Amino acid sequence: MIKTYWLGLILFSGGSLLNSCSDSMLEENVYTGTSQDNLVAQGEAGCKILVDGIYKYVQYFSYSRGNNWQLAPEAGTDEFTLNWGFAITEWGGMQNFLNLNSGHYQPMEMYREAYKLIAQANQVLISFDDKKNDPSYSAMIAEAKFWRAYTYYKLQNVFGSVPLIKGTEDLSSGIERTPASDIRSFVSSEMEDIENILPSTPTAYGKPTKWAVKAFLSRFYLNNKDWTKASLYAKDIIDNSGASLQAKYQDVFKIDGNPEIILAVNQINQSDKGNKYVALSLEGELRNALNIQGVSASNGYGMSNYFYSTFAPDDQRVIPFDKNTKQGIAIAGIQYKADGTPVYGSVSSPETVQKALNRVITFKFPLQENIAKGEDSDADFPLMRLGEIYLTYAEAQFQLGNTAGALEYINPIRTRAGLSPLTTLTLDDILNERGWETYHEGYRREDLLRFGKLLDKVEAKFKYDFPTTPYPNSGNITRELFPIPADAISLNPKLTQNPGY
């Protein structure tokens, strides 16, 4: 048995399984206190219990909690902002990247939850390694490998080199960071190894297929600037997966299981198992003025004013929210109460949402009223979808010199957004289109790093959103990586901190 250790947060301690999920992967847990030996003895059923237990941690890659893998990486870009605490120097500002430190619980949560998932996947692979060539087990084992590789890639992107733990290491004296290049090699090898093992259609909603593997690899190779491989994987999905673009942008996020979605995090109306995006975005006075019922207002998430200013006025991806129909996305400008007075400011000096809240509220994930505890909607979170694959193919083809081929796939995305097709194309056009299409989906940090513009865009956001307020720790604009949590370092003597912290 591997030593129970913070950096791994192994899910077995004294031989007992903490929890796993039922067939839906999200309903009430039905197995507790089951020993590892008993699970192995149960064969396929035991393997399934362990694999389904992974999905408790997959939820953290969505907006299922107030602190999640979408929040901090996106707040560390130009598109997303978080105003809990309101002032940039307060608690909310700390999550806006420049002021993060190794003691802040946001990177700690990200690091910890990721290693929990990895530990759960490792238990599948350790317990049933001898069954990997058995058709009854092979897809389940591949599923565990998918989520482990996916998680290591996310860790490497945000933290750089991290310990690569496969579940058989002696962690009693700590473990060193694995070079980021080795992490990337591990991830690509693991994913390529399973792309023809996972089924073409999911065994249950929210589980990966071979097309999810290919979608991941198209993005992976794009981020590693292997334009040829990125193109090949993307075109295979476009031509052969059966996925298709939704006619309306909002329907991508409104209609669960729609044909544009390749892999989604399944969200349900249960506490911390649903999509909290809207509840975490709303502010109380504005909610009341919009006559939104049964939704809490945590007054935090939103789109940065800077990023909102880059959209064309008629872009359907930020279509104004209509309080009468309860349809639409962006809530900006001066908003009014039923009596005609402004929500913010005074009658003589009304304030825009942008000025009052330091952000634009967006309902990209649609409003659902009277939801459980006012927070958890059942709007699924897409991890991979065809719209992003179109843009991956377009960028890779452009980099290979095929501008006409790139335009063929970028223009359908623009047309759906209500914009005119492009006749010429630049790299900036591609970066802009990716940002406008996939905002708040967790792609922006990767895109800006690939283009070498992360730090420039972060600085531009802060200067635009706070033109008269010097932002704290402006010297930290050189930091690209998040801090390794102090707790992890204190418990692992071989773990070192990232530069700048």
Q: Is residue 252 part of a domain?
A: no
Q: Is residue 46 part of a domain?
A: yes
Domain with residue 137: its CATH number is: 1.25.40.890
Give me the pLDDT at residue 474, please: 57
Give me the pLDDT at residue 440, please: 96
Rounded-to-integer distance, Cα 123 and Cα 296, Å: 38
Helix axis angle for 44-52 and 135-159, nearest 10°, is 20
Among 100, 140, 103, 146, smallest CA distance to 124 is for 140
Task: Summarize the confidence of residues 278-292 as an average pLDDT.
Answer: 96
Q: Is residue 391 part of a domain?
A: no
Burial 156-175 (b: 16+ CB within 10 A, else e): bbbbbbbbbbebeeebeeeb
Residues 214, 239 contacting (CB under 8 angstroms): no
Does the pLDDT value for residue 271 go beyond 90?
no
Place of tokens 């992003």: 388
Q: Is residue 43 part of a domain?
A: yes
Among 300, 265, 231, 294, smallest CA distance to 86 is for 300
Q: Is residue 208 part of a domain?
A: no
Give me the pLDDT at residue 70, please: 87
**Bridge partner residues of 385 (DSSP):** 261
The confidence band for 71, taking pLDDT boundaries of 50, 70 and 90, is confident
Tokens of 164: 């690569």
Q: What is the pLDDT of residues 147-160, one digit of tens each?
A: 999 999 999 999 99
Domain span including residue 118: 12-53+101-198+482-491
Place of tokens 């418990």: 491
Rounded-to-integer distance, Cα 329 and Cα 250, Å: 8
Q: Is residue 137 part of a domain?
A: yes
Direct distance between the N- and C-terminal alpha carbons of the chain, in angstroms, rounded to an integer: 34
% of the chain with per-residue pLDDT over 70: 88
The confidence band for 32, taking pLDDT boundaries of 50, 70 and 90, is very low
Q: Is residue 71 part of a domain?
A: no
User: How many domains does the structure of the chain reveal?
Assistant: 1
Task: Summarize the confidence of residues 402-411 as an average pLDDT.
Answer: 98
Give me the pLDDT at residue 469, please: 67
Give me the pLDDT at residue 10, please: 34
* Higher pLDDT pick, 302 / 94: 302
* Mean pLDDT (the chain, rounded): 88
Q: What is the pLDDT of residues 163-202, one digit of tens each?
A: 999 999 989 899 999 999 999 999 999 999 999 999 999 9
Rounded-to-integer distance, Cα 121 and Cα 131, Å: 15
Rounded-to-integer distance, Cα 275 and Cα 286, Å: 20
**Bridge partner residues of 322 (DSSP):** 327
Q: What is the pLDDT of residues 198-251, one digit of tens each?
A: 999 998 999 999 999 999 999 999 999 999 999 999 999 999 999 999 999 999
Task: Summarize the confidence of residues 20-41 as an average pLDDT.
Answer: 49
Rounded-to-integer distance, Cα 330 and Cα 345, Å: 20
Place of tokens 């949590």: 485
Q: Which pTM was predicted?
A: 0.92
Residues 425, 406 contacting (CB under 8 angstroms): yes
Q: Is residue 397 part of a domain?
A: no
Element at 362 (helix H, strand E): strand 361-362
